[in-house]
């Protein structure tokens, strides 16, 4: 029997959730026994090469590329899991929500204290660049998300237990300490 296939990605995130996935320590060997990875930074597969069972999404959606990747995941994965606060509620990138996107861009490229030598007031607008969304969207406010694993990042134990439960179909029983929002 073939192993369940897992894909992962980081949208508007910091890769902290992926780091936390690696934090399962030696269980990572067990994980590779349990599942096969497809599109993921873990094996550096850039595009989906087959239909997957589980897609782990880190980060929310702050630009058009995030939206495309997320929709691609939804299309290619049977189960989508929002991993971490950013995927679940926008997280720290969503601190900009409520501030008009124009002001955010002006702060970043024109007026902010860290703006260097932009005397001509150039705003990045090459069509190769992803387009910035009006706010950061939680993943489930864009596509259907099946499960949510909170935390910033989610504890390694939480990611591990949840993955095992999903793969084996066993009931997920979580100790109190592992579900946290920070």
Partner 1 sequence: MSEKIKFTIDGKQCLAKKGQNVLDAALENGVYIPFLCHVKGVKQAGSCRICNVKVAGRTMTACTTPVAPGMEVENDIPELHDLRLAIIEALFVEGNHFCPSCEKSGNCELQALAYRYQMMVPRFPYSFPQKEIDASNSKILIDRNRCVLCKRCIRSFQDDQGRNLFAFKSRGHKVEINIDKECAVNLSDELAQEIMDVCPVGALIRKEKGFNEPIGTRKYDKKPIGSEITSVV
Partner 2 sequence: MRTTVKTIIEKYNNDKTRLMDILMDIQNNFGFISDKFVEVIARETGLSIVDVEQTLTFYHFFSKKPVGEYAVYLNNSVVANMKGRAAVAKAFEEELGCKFGNLCDDGKIGLYNTACIGMSDQEPAAIINDTVFTSLTPLKVKGIVQQMREGKKVTEMIDVIGDGNNSSPLINSMVFNNIRKEGPVLFSEYEVGAAVKKVTEMTPNEVVDEVKSSYLRGRGGAGFPTGLKWEFCRKSEGPRYIHCNADEGEPGTFKERVILTELPKLLFEGMAIAAYALDAKEGIIYLRGEYKYLKNYLEAVLEEMKTANLLGENICGKKGFDFEIRIQFGAGAYVCGEESALIESAEGKRGEPRNRPPFPVQKGYLGMPTVVNNVETICTVVKIINNGADWFSMMGSHESTGTKLISVSGDCDFPGVYAIEWGMRIRDLLEIAGTEDVLAVQIGGPSGVCIGSKEFKRTISFEDIPTGGAITIIGKDRDIIKDVVVNYMDFFIDESCGSCVPCRAITVLMRNKLQKIIDGNGVMNDLDDLVDWGAKMKIANRCGLGQTAANPILTTLENFREKYEALIDKDSDYNTGFDLEKAVADSCAYVDRVPNL
Single out the residue of 18, 37, 58, 135 in contact with partner 1 (rule: CB under 8 A).
135
User: Is residue 89 a contact residue for partner 1 (CB under 8 A)?
Assistant: yes
User: Is residue 111 a contact residue for partner 2 (CB under 8 A)?
Assistant: no
Sequence length of the chain is 182
Single out the residue of 116, 144, 176, 177 in contact with partner 2 (rule: CB under 8 A).
144
* Closer by beta carbon to partner 1, 25 or else 44: 25
The CA distance from 127 to 129, in Å, is 5
User: Is residue 168 a contact residue for partner 2 (CB under 8 A)?
Assistant: no
The CA distance from 37 to 52, in Å, is 9
The CA distance from 117 to 126, in Å, is 19
Single out the residue of 134, 168, 170, 172 in contact with partner 2 (rule: CB under 8 A).
134
User: Is residue 127 a contact residue for partner 2 (CB under 8 A)?
Assistant: yes
Contact 61, 137 (CB under 8 A): yes
* Closer by beta carbon to partner 1, 128 or else 182: 182
- Within 10 Å of residue 122's Cβ, how many Cβ atoms? 9
Contact 90, 150 (CB under 8 A): no
Give the residues lining the site for partner 1 (CB under 8 A): 82, 85, 88-92, 94-95, 97-99, 135, 138, 140-141, 145, 147-150, 152, 176-177, 179-182
């Amino acid at each position: 029997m073939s192993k369940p296939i897992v894909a992962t990605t980081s949208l508007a995130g910091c890769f902290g959730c992926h780091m936390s996935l690696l934090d399962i320590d030696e269980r990572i060997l067990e994980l590779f026994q349990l599942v096969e990875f497809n599109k993921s930074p873990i094996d550096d597969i850039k595009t989906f090469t087959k239909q997957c069972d589980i897609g782990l999404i880190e980060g929310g959606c702050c630009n058009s590329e995030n939206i495309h990747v997320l929709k691609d995941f939804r299309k290619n994965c049977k189960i989508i899991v929002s991993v971490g606060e950013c995927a679940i509620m926008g997280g720290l990138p969503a601190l900009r929500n409520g501030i008009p996107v124009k002001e955010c861009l002006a702060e970043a490229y024109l007026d902010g204290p860290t703006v260097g030598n932009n005397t001509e007031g150039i705003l990045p607008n090459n069509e190769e660049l992803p387009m910035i969304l009006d706010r950061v969207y939680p993943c489930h406010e864009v596509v259907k998300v099946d499960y949510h694993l909170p935390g910033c990042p989610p504890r390694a134990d939480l990611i591990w237990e949840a993955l095992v439960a999903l793969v084996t179909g066993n009931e997920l029983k979580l100790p109190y300490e592992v579900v946290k929002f920070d």
